[in-house]
Structure 1
């Protein structure tokens, strides 16, 4: 189903304009009508325009009437905008059918919308880094986006590592929330951190060494939020380097430590993060997590 798509820049400045233009062209080639926000390529220091400019872009996205409002890229900048966002306008846009889509820094917007309005947004691709890649975009990413666009998506599945296979089927239901770990941790103690109890939290990150991942997880643990979840699902943690001082300390060390601190099951391998292959996930929607053997599924469909 062809849809109207609004492309905007609420975070870092677009440095690779060619990638965004390629992404827009590919979305159009899929049959979508695409509108690029007038300030999509604006630059102010490291940002896509000053705060007022980016707030205006969010407002235009909410008023666009588009089926999908998707970011050009992530980076940094949304946390400084959170007090001034017009959440009522965003909620009205979502109620009218607009799906806000993005990842990385967009985690701040997504969780603030959930905390203030209870509405769901979508963790998914960005126009530049996903649709605008040189070569062909990832097939799974594109298929999941198309399902998001036409409303046919009902869930996402993946295979767990052998060590995580469950002997008995496991099922849990709750609000799906989370996103980029560093951004989510920055919301701790603020009005824009969702107070989800009995939920399913998913986490990912990029350029963060395992010890930094553990430090951020420790902060979330000390807030008490992780202990209240029914399950923790870890996506991809990528683009970091081990150093000699690690002496065997690695990402699996962090996962094992987290499992020792919470009663909820911790699963890994979710195809989401700063990687080409990513599914689309409804942040703030009720989902059903089902695990049988090594097969894991997040299902929403008509559960939203």
Structure 2
């Protein structure tokens, strides 16, 4: 049984198309004994976004206000699109000054990856690639795997993710763990919000992207020199991409093998991270050790904020 925590909902991207999912998510977290606030952000609407740019940036900037009580967990409402619109509105100095070293877990994935990249690049803050309110905690059926991984990651000073997915590479490397949604990472290359990470372990995922589009984004990271600086690349879930007869045998596996050849860095596959129902929680900016062989792989993580 997890300990009880204070959870604050933020809406940095889109608004929820299904308010029932919001209600389910909040109810489930409260049923576990957690104190949830901020769910009123789900009522905001501005075009396709969960509020104006100023409102959505304000959700995060209030964490820099000494008068605002810090929650244990900051939980993104949902993804979609909109985070890049508020990157230049965030109070990075204020957030770094108040949150650096604090036992606080800032959580989300998908479009939220843009926020995570920026917070690490500009404020040095470690955040969590993690479930969100509507898609995960508010799903009609909550994944037990997702729920267990979330609380293990947030409440443990060190944890290990193991997957019995046979790998064609044998590696044992360590480095800074970082990543998230591939489209968001590729979009921020060359901007002040893209962290420069040497010797990292990069994990990526995406949804509704054809393999050639995934390849193109990986080429963007390759040509920009990002992949060459990493010790390994971990591929999470890439669901929803539809093949066509024109592909003529070009599928996700063929694309991965090509990227292996082009980049020359170890690539591990089969991480349950992305837009599927099962989602492992990973700290962006933590220390990690990745071991892989023909039996599977393990990822041991430490050095991240741990909730008391």
> TM-score band, normalised by the shorter chain?
over 0.9
| Contact 1:11 1:73 (C-alpha < 8 Å) held by counterparts | yes
Secondary structure at the aligned position of 2:12 is classed as coil
- 1:267, CA displacement in angstroms? 0.7
> RMSD between aligned alpha carbons?
1.6
- 1:93, CA displacement in angstroms? 2.5
In structure 1, distance between residues paired with 2:256 and 2:168? 15
In structure 1, distance between residues paired with 2:231 and 2:49? 37
Instruction: Name structure 2 gaps, 5 residues minimum.
Output: none
In structure 2, distance between residues paired with 1:208 and 1:64? 40
In structure 1, distance between residues paired with 2:297 and 2:250? 27
| Contact 1:144 1:153 (C-alpha < 8 Å) held by counterparts | no
In structure 1, distance between residues paired with 2:259 and 2:47? 38
Alignment match, 1:47 = 49
Return closer, same or farther for 1:216/1:77 CA change in 2, 3 Å cut-off: same
Alignment match, 1:126 = 132
| Contact 1:6 1:64 (C-alpha < 8 Å) held by counterparts | no
- Of residues 135, 144, 165, the one that matches 1:139 is 144
Alignment match, 2:187 = 186
| Contact 2:99 2:125 (C-alpha < 8 Å) held by counterparts | no
Return closer, same or farther for 1:303/1:152 CA change in 2, 3 Å cut-off: closer
In structure 2, distance between residues paired with 1:159 and 1:118? 33
- Of residues 43, 66, 71, the one that matches 2:71 is 66
In structure 2, distance between residues paired with 1:251 and 1:25? 38
Alignment match, 2:161 = 156
Does residue 1:112 correspond to 2:118, yes or no? yes
Does residue 1:3 correspond to 2:9, yes or no? no
Does residue 1:175 correspond to 2:180, yes or no? no
In structure 1, distance between residues paired with 2:119 and 2:84? 12
- 1:189, CA displacement in angstroms? 0.6
In structure 1, distance between residues paired with 2:146 and 2:19? 21
| Contact 2:268 2:292 (C-alpha < 8 Å) held by counterparts | no
Bigger Cα displacement from structure 2, 286-295 vs 206-215: 286-295
- 1:53, CA displacement in angstroms? 0.9
Structure 2-normalised TM-score? 0.92
Alignment match, 1:28 = 30
| Contact 1:39 1:53 (C-alpha < 8 Å) held by counterparts | no
Secondary structure at the aligned position of 1:300 is classed as strand
- 1:147, CA displacement in angstroms? 1.6
Bigger Cα displacement from structure 2, 263-272 vs 57-66: 57-66
Alignment match, 2:91 = 86
In structure 1, distance between residues paired with 2:41 and 2:282? 27
Secondary structure at the aligned position of 1:271 is classed as coil
- 1:83, CA displacement in angstroms? 1.2
- 1:303, CA displacement in angstroms? 7.5
- Of residues 99, 104, 118, the one that matches 1:98 is 104
Q: Which runs of 4+ in 1 moved over 6 A?
A: none
In structure 1, distance between residues paired with 2:245 and 2:222? 28
Alignment match, 2:252 = 251
Alignment match, 1:236 = 237
